[in-house]
Structure 1
Amino acid sequence: MQNIKYAVSDILSNLKIDALNDMQLASIEANKSNNDVILLSATGSGKTLGFLLPILEQVDEANKLTQALIIVPSRELAIQIEHVFKQMGTGLKITCCYGGHLRETEENNLIQPPAVIVGTPGRLADHIRRGNITVDAIKMLVLDEFDKSLELGFQAEMSFIVESLKNLKKHMLTSATEAVEVPDFVRMKGEIKLNFLTGEEVAEERLTTKTVMSDGRDKLETLFRLICMIGNRSTIIFCNHRESVERTSEFLAEKGIINEFYHGAMEQQERDSALCKFRNGTCNVLVTTDLASRGLDIPNIRNIIHYHLPHTEDIYTHRNGRTARMDATGTTIIILSPDETLPEYVNEEVEQITLPEHAELPEKPKWTTLFIAAGKKDKVNKVDIVGFLGQKGELKKEDIGLIEVKDFFSFVAVRKTKAADALSLVKHEKIKGKKVRIDIAK
Structure 2
Amino acid sequence: MEIASILQRLKITALNDMQQEVLAKFRPQQDFVLLSPTGSGKTLAFSLLIDGLIQQKTAHNPQVLIVVPTRELALQIETVIKDVIKGFKVLCTYGGHDTKIERNALKQAPAILIGTPGRIIYHLERGNFTPEHIHTLVLDEFDKSLELGFQEQLAHITGAAAQVKQRILTSATALAEFPDFLSLNLPIEVNFLDSKDNIPDIRFKKVISPAQHKLKALFKLICSQGSKKILIFCNHREAVDHISELLDSRDLIHDVFHGGLEQRDRELSILKFRNNSNRILLTTDLAARGLDIPEIDLIVHYQLPSKEDAFIHRNGRTARMKTTGEVILMLKPDDVFTYLPENTEELLLEEDYELPPNSPYTTLYIPFGKKDKVNKIDIVGYILQLKGLEKDDLGVIEVKDNEAYIAVKRKVASIIIKEGSTGKIKGKKVKFFRT
Query: TM-score, structure 1 length as denominator?
Result: 0.93
% identical aligned pairs:
47
Aligned match for 1:83, one of 60, 74, 79: 79
Aligned match for 2:408, one of 414, 422, 425: 414
Contact 1:300 1:328 in 2 (8 A): no
Distance 1:100 1:437, change over 3 A: farther
The one-letter amino acid paired with 1:240 is N
1:108 aligns with 2:77: no
The one-letter amino acid paired with 1:365 is S
The one-letter amino acid paired with 1:304 is I
Shift of 1:99: 1.3
1:57 aligns with 2:52: yes
Contact 1:34 1:192 in 2 (8 A): no
1:4 is aligned to none
Contact 1:69 1:142 in 2 (8 A): yes
Shift of 1:295: 0.5
Contact 1:42 1:200 in 2 (8 A): no
For structure 1, the 5+ residue unaligned runs are 2-6
CA-to-aligned-CA distance 1:278-331 (integer Å, 9 cap, x gap): 111111000000000001111110111000011200000000000000121111
2:33 is aligned to 38
2:43 is aligned to 48
Shift of 1:9: 2.1
2:116 is aligned to 120
* Of 236-245 and 99-108, the range deviating more from structure 2: 99-108
Shift of 1:84: 1.1
Query: TM-score, structure 2 length as denominator?
Result: 0.94
Secondary structure of the 1:335 match is strand
CA-to-aligned-CA distance 1:235-275 (integer Å, 9 cap, x gap): 10000111111111111221232210001121121112111
Shift of 1:89: 5.0
Contact 2:275 2:407 in 1 (8 A): yes
Aligned match for 1:73, one of 33, 50, 69: 69
Contact 2:48 2:84 in 1 (8 A): no
Distance 1:105 1:386, change over 3 A: farther
Contact 1:177 1:314 in 2 (8 A): yes
Residues 17-416 of structure 1 aligned to structure 2 (within 5 Å):
17-32=12-27, 35-64=30-59, 65-88=61-84, 90-179=86-175, 181-199=177-195, 203-204=199-200, 206-341=201-336, 343-392=337-386, 395-416=389-410
Shift of 1:145: 0.3
User: Within 2, Cα distance between the matches of 1:394 and 1:109?
Assistant: 42
Distance 1:180 1:386, change over 3 A: farther
Distance 1:213 1:256, change over 3 A: farther
Contact 1:147 1:180 in 2 (8 A): no
Secondary structure of the 1:32 match is coil
Contact 2:296 2:317 in 1 (8 A): yes
RMSD, aligned α-carbons? 1.9
Q: How many residues align?
A: 434
User: Within 2, Cα distance between the matches of 1:367 and 1:385?
Assistant: 17
Shift of 1:53: 1.3
The one-letter amino acid paired with 1:398 is D
Secondary structure of the 1:73 match is coil
CA-to-aligned-CA distance 1:160-199 (integer Å, 9 cap, x gap): 1111113201111101111463212122233222210112
User: Within 1, Cα distance between the matches of 2:429 and 2:302?
Assistant: 44
The one-letter amino acid paired with 2:112 is V
Distance 1:348 1:22, change over 3 A: farther
The one-letter amino acid paired with 2:173 is T
For structure 2, the 5+ residue unaligned runs are none
User: Within 2, Cα distance between the matches of 1:146 and 1:394?
Assistant: 51
Shift of 1:392: 4.5
Shift of 1:398: 2.0
Distance 1:74 1:394, change over 3 A: farther
